[in-house]
Structure 1
Amino acid sequence: MSHLVELRTRLLRAVGTMLAVFIVLFMYPGASAIYDLLAAPMLASLPDGTRMIATGVITPFMVPVKVTMMAAFVVSLPVVLYQVWAFVAPGLYRHEQRLALPLIVSSSLLFLAGMAFCYFVVFKTVFSFIASFAPQSITPAPDIEAYLGFVMTMFLAFGITFEVPVAVILLVRMNIVTIAQLKQARGYVIVGAFIIAAVVTPPDVVSQFLLAVPLCVLYEIGILLARGIKPRSEETKPEATDSTI
Structure 2
Amino acid sequence: MVNTLGFTEKIPVSKHLKELKDRVVQTAIVVGFFFGVCFYFIEILLGWLEDPLPKQWAQLTFITPTEPFFTNMKVAFMGSLFISMPLILYHFWMFISPGLKVKEKKITFMFVFFGTLFFVFGGTFCYFLVVPLALKFLFNYGVQYWQMQVTIGFYFSFIVKLILAFAFAFQTPLIMVLLTKFGVINTIKMRMYRKWAFLGSFALAAILTPPDIVTQLLLGIPLYALYEFGVLVSTFFEDPKQREQVLKQVQLEREMRKAKKEAQQAQKEAKKRKVKVKPQKKAV
- TM-score, normalised relative to structure 2: 0.74
Greater Cα radius of gyration, structure 1 or 2: 2
Structure 1 counterpart of 2:198, one-letter code: I
Identity level (%): 29
Aligned residue number for residue 144 of structure 1: 152
Cα displacement (A) at 1:36: 2.3
Residues 100, 132 of structure 1: CA spacing in aligned structure 2 closer, same or farther, 3 A cutoff?
A: same
1:78 and 2:86 matched: yes
Question: 158, 167, 180: which is aligned to 2:166?
Answer: 158
1:204 and 2:215 matched: no
Structure 1 counterpart of 2:47, one-letter code: D
Structure 1 counterpart of 2:138, one-letter code: I
Aligned residue number for residue 50 of structure 2: 39
Cα displacement (A) at 1:4: 3.6
Structure 1 counterpart of 2:72, one-letter code: P
Unaligned runs of 5+ in 1: 235-245
Moved more, 108-117 or 134-143: 134-143
Distance of 1:130 and 1:85 partners within structure 2: 39
1:14 and 2:27 matched: yes
The count of aligned residue pairs is 230
Q: What's the C-alpha RMSD, in Å, of the aligned pairs?
A: 2.2
Alpha-carbon contact 2:74-2:157 (below 8 Å) kept:
no
Structure 2 counterpart of 1:111, one-letter code: F
Alpha-carbon contact 2:86-2:116 (below 8 Å) kept:
yes
Question: 96, 115, 133: which is aligned to 1:107?
Answer: 115
Question: 223, 227, 233: which is aligned to 1:219?
Answer: 227
1:181 and 2:192 matched: no
Unaligned runs of 5+ in 2: 1-13, 243-284
Alpha-carbon contact 1:173-1:232 (below 8 Å) kept:
no
- TM-score, normalised relative to structure 1: 0.85
Residues 4, 192 of structure 1: CA spacing in aligned structure 2 closer, same or farther, 3 A cutoff?
A: closer
Deviating beyond 3 angstroms after TM superposition, the runs of 4 or more aligned structure 1 residues are 1-5, 136-139
Alpha-carbon contact 2:39-2:72 (below 8 Å) kept:
no
Distance of 2:240 and 2:37 partners within structure 1: 43
Distance of 2:234 and 2:174 partners within structure 1: 9
Residues 229, 90 of structure 1: CA spacing in aligned structure 2 closer, same or farther, 3 A cutoff?
A: closer
Cα displacement (A) at 1:58: 1.7
Cα displacement (A) at 1:7: 2.5
Cα displacement (A) at 1:131: 2.6
Alpha-carbon contact 2:123-2:167 (below 8 Å) kept:
yes
